[in-house]
Structure 1
Amino acid sequence: MDPRELLAADRDETLRRLASLTDDYASFVAASRDTNADDEHDPEGATIAFERSQVGALVGQARRHLAEIEAALARVEAGTYGTCEVCGRPIGEGRLEARPVARTCIACASRPAP
């Protein structure tokens, strides 16, 4: 499949997920306004705070993934998509199918961070 199509589909799915998560987050914020502000003594308060924190983290993750998709699309336009940013060798087709935003080949991704 063409990388542009794969990345566009990934972007569309991520945008849908982000919209849903943003709605969920707004619901949790509204719910926390309507409940007791003392989460420590309110059995529901801790749950709302936890859920809001979890959804907030997922929103951040979706936004970072969108940035990765945009960077991958820029690499497609620049003609560097599919080339490892560390060693310069081609990134395997299977890796790009599984992770279209991959910047490195499997060998370089497997190396421990310095």
Structure 2
Amino acid sequence: MPLDPGPRPDAGDRPAEARAADSAHAADRIAAAGATAVARAAALEVQVAALAEQQALTTHDDEHDPEGVTIGFERAQLLGLLSGARDEIAALDRAADRLRDGTYGRCARCGAVIPDVRLEALPATDTCLTCADLRRRRR
């Protein structure tokens, strides 16, 4: 199904059935992304636990053990990925709250409509392309 990259008409201009279908689609999109993020977080937690168990069986002499640095790097990488998955879950929870409040699909900064194609790609996004670009440029 092709995605409409343009702005949606104001919600008040659309029939209730169309708004309800959009809301249901958004809820499904957020739920699917949330389920994926939760599964990813769970898998990463298992990997972190396995790595901790592996570390318990090895020496802790990183200076002379060439695997020590690798294990430390792998642990940091896994913890970073886990943190990202947890951040994504929190962002999707906030998106679900915005959907319930009727503000999902509107930019939190300027109030503009967020294009459907952006919401399809980033269900948790709360900014339009213009505001996201401005934020990136300021960094």
The normalised TM-score by structure 2 is: 0.79
Match 1:25 to one of 48, 51, 55? 48
Instruction: Report what 2:127 is aligned to.
Output: 104
Paired residue for 1:93, among 116, 124, 137? 116
- What is the aligned partner in structure 1 of residue 19 from structure 2? none
Cα distance in 1 for residues equivalent to 2:38 and 2:123: 16
Where do residues 29-108 of structure 1 align in structure 2 (5 Å cutoff)?
29-108=52-131
Q: Aligned letter for 2:50? A: S
**Residues in 2 aligned to 1:102 and 1:53: alpha-carbon distance in whole angstroms:** 27
Q: Write the letter of the residue equivalent to 1:99.
A: L
- Write the distance in 1 (CA, Å) between the matches of 2:138 and 2:109: 12
Q: Flag the structure with more relative contact order, 1 or 2, with Cα contacts below 8 A and sequence separation at least 6.
A: 2
- % identical aligned pairs: 39
Who wins on radius of gyration, i.e. which is larger?
A: 2
Paired AA for residue 90 in structure 1 = V
Per the alignment, in what secondary structure is the counterpart of residue 97 of structure 1? helix
Structure 1 segments of 4+ aligned residues over 4 angstroms from their partners: none
Q: Would the aligned equivalents of 1:6 and 1:100 in 2 still touch at CA under 8 Å?
A: yes
- 1:88 partner amino acid: G
Q: Post-superposition shift, 1:33?
A: 1.1
Matched pairs, number: 114
Give structure 1 stretches of 5+ with no counterpart: none
Deviations 1:63-106 (A, max 9, x none): 00000000000000000000001111100111001101111000
Q: Structure 2: which amino acid aligns with 1:36?
A: T
Shift of 1:44: 1.1
- Deviation, 1:45, is 1.1
